[in-house]
């Protein structure tokens, strides 16, 4: 990648400027004039957003890199013990099922287990007891269901042959390109005399970029598990109860893939979405894009939510297109009420932040507190187009937005520090908006 320089046409501390520009490589991006002048902090986040857009840091722009995730679940005899939230094996099943609901359908996901077929008293067979329960393949709804069914068949019985299991898991990735990831959930270290650290070194030596992320589930000793993760380039996470296990699984996936959420709406909406239909009107998939489906009553608000309450610093990218309409009948997108909003830092439907967007009209940020929306802040003007690429960058209390690569709005507010993410659109009989390639990546 070429070295980028950021230069400013003039110093912007406490001044106003009608023609200020950011130069990034060959790109010159105008920075809007704000009443009362620029603050360097606002400019800093504007620079950050332009860097993200101009240098194309976000890998999930329109297509995700092939991602292969195999979950290895410990079903050794100790998984019959209880933790806050229930029996360990039941807690683990539920956490994995919930994880499957938020993973993109484009991911190849598989399941391997150990210790679930032979008793711990039969050490000979139990120490070679590992089984590929579901091979790596795209996470269609059919595959989600199949993995869940295989999970229910796992009953804790045996020993903990981690080294033997990892040796066999390597073969599960044969011929797979892209990111190769193992997520190992274990409530203890090796008990069969194997050497998982030597196996971890072997995995690294293969050069297939296979990383092992390990979750120690109420473990008394974690040194070996931490070392497995470290030697393969993965990470280790502690979990002591049901809530922590669910969060650790999600954190492992986010860290391993650098993607919080992605939906290209091919075939079906991700199960991670939660929508609020209004009568017969709802958001659904129409020819590979998200759109309003059903009977359309003017000026009804339709919303959809996804994500996690812990989401904080992130980058949202999404493609929007509008029906072309007809100027004679006044149905061009900028002649109608086609306002949409991208919501983030959502505590609940009454407390959140949103970026509002109207073709050919004003755009900017608003904060909703206790059910009441505040005024539009950091306002800009949206161009009159039929297709847009929107990027929103949120870090700490600073928010920036770009449309088709051009910085258009910057806003600072510390009301909410983290929360869910969603979208909102207005029903309009004269025009429809379509969403595609909805991607959320962590800002690191």
Q: Are 91 and 83 in contact (CB under 8 A)?
A: yes
- 120-134, 221-235, 266-280 — which is least confidently predicted? 266-280
Q: Quote the percentage of the chain above a pLDDT of 90.
A: 57
Kindly tell me if the per-residue pLDDT of 135 is higher than 80: yes
Mean pLDDT of 256-269: 87
- 63-77, 85-99, 273-287 — which is least confidently predicted? 273-287
Q: Using CB atoms within 10 Å of the CB of residue 223, give its burial: 0 to 12 exposed, 13 to 18 middle, 19+ buried.
A: exposed
Residue 433's closest CA among 286, 261, 280?
286
Mean pLDDT of 233-253: 95
Check residue 298 and report its DSSP letter: T
Check residue 80 and report its DSSP letter: G
Domain with CATH 3.40.50.410 in the chain: 67-257
Give residue 211's pLDDT.
97
Q: 106: phi > 0 → left, psi -120 to 50 → alpha, else beta; which?
A: alpha
Domain with CATH 2.60.120.560 in the chain: 49-61+261-442
Give residue 290's pLDDT.
87
Kindly tell me if the per-residue pLDDT of 42 is higher than 70: no
Average pLDDT, the chain: 82
Residue 399's closest CA among 382, 411, 415?
411
Phi and psi at residue 135, in whole multiples of 5°?
Answer: -70, 160
- 97-106, 240-249, 405-414, 418-427 — which is least confidently predicted? 418-427
Give residue 57's pLDDT.
38
Element (H, E) at 74: strand 67-74
Q: Which fold has domain 67-257?
A: Rossmann fold (3.40.50)
Mean pLDDT of 424-432: 69
pLDDT band at 425 (very low <50, low <70, confident <90, very high): confident
Class in CATH terms, 49-61+261-442: mainly beta
pLDDT band at 4 (very low <50, low <70, confident <90, very high): very low
């Amino acid at each position: 990648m070429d070295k980028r320089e950021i230069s400013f046409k003039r110093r912007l501390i406490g001044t106003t400027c009608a023609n200020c520009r950011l130069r990034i490589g060959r790109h010159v991006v105008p920075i809007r004039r704000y009443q009362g002048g620029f603050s360097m902090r606002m400019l800093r986040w504007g620079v950050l957003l332009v860097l993200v857009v101009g240098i194309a840091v976000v890998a999930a722009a329109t297509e995700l890199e092939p991602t292969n995730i195999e979950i290895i679940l410990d079903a050794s005899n100790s998984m019959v013990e209880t933790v806050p939230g229930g029996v360990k094996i039941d807690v683990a099943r539920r956490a994995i099922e919930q994880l499957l609901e938020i993973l993109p359908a484009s991911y190849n996901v598989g399941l391997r287990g150990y210790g679930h077929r032979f008793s711990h008293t039969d050490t000979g067979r139990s120490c070679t007891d590992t089984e590929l329960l579901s091979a790596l393949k795209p996470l269609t709804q059919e595959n989600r269901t199949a993995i869940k069914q295989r999970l229910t068949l796992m009953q804790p019985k045996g020993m903990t042959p981690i080294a033997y299991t990892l040796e066999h898991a390597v073969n599960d990735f044969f011929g797979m390109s892209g990111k190769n990831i193992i997520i190992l959930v274990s409530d203890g270290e090796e008990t069969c005399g194997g050497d998982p650290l030597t196996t971890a070194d072997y995995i690294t030596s293969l050069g297939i970029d296979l990383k092992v992320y390990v979750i120690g589930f109420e473990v008394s000793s974690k040194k070996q598990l931490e070392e497995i993760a470290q030697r393969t380039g993965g990470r280790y996470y502690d979990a002591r109860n049901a809530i922590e296990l669910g969060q650790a699984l999600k954190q492992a996936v986010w860290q391993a893939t650098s993607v919080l959420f992605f939906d290209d709406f091919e075939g079906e909406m991700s199960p991670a979405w939660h929508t609020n239909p209004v009568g017969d009107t709802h958001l659904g998939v129409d020819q590979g894009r998200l759109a309003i489906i059903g009977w359309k009553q003017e000026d009804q608000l339709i919303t959809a939510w996804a994500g996690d309450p812990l989401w904080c610093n992130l980058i949202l990218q999404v493609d929007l297109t509008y029906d072309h309409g007809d100027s004679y009948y006044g149905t061009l997108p900028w002649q109608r009420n086609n306002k949409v909003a991208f919501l983030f830092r959502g505590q609940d439907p009454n407390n959140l932040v949103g970026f509002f967007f109207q073709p050919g009209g004003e755009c900017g940020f608003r904060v909703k507190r206790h059910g009441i929306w505040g005024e539009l802040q950091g306002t800009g003007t949206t161009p009159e187009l039929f297709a847009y690429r929107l990027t929103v960058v949120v870090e700490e209390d600073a928010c920036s937005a770009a449309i088709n690569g051009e910085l258009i709005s910057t806003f600072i507010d510390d009301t909410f520090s983290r929360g869910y993410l969603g979208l909102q659109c207005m029903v309009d009989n004269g025009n429809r908006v379509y969403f595609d390639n909805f991607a959320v990546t962590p800002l690191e």
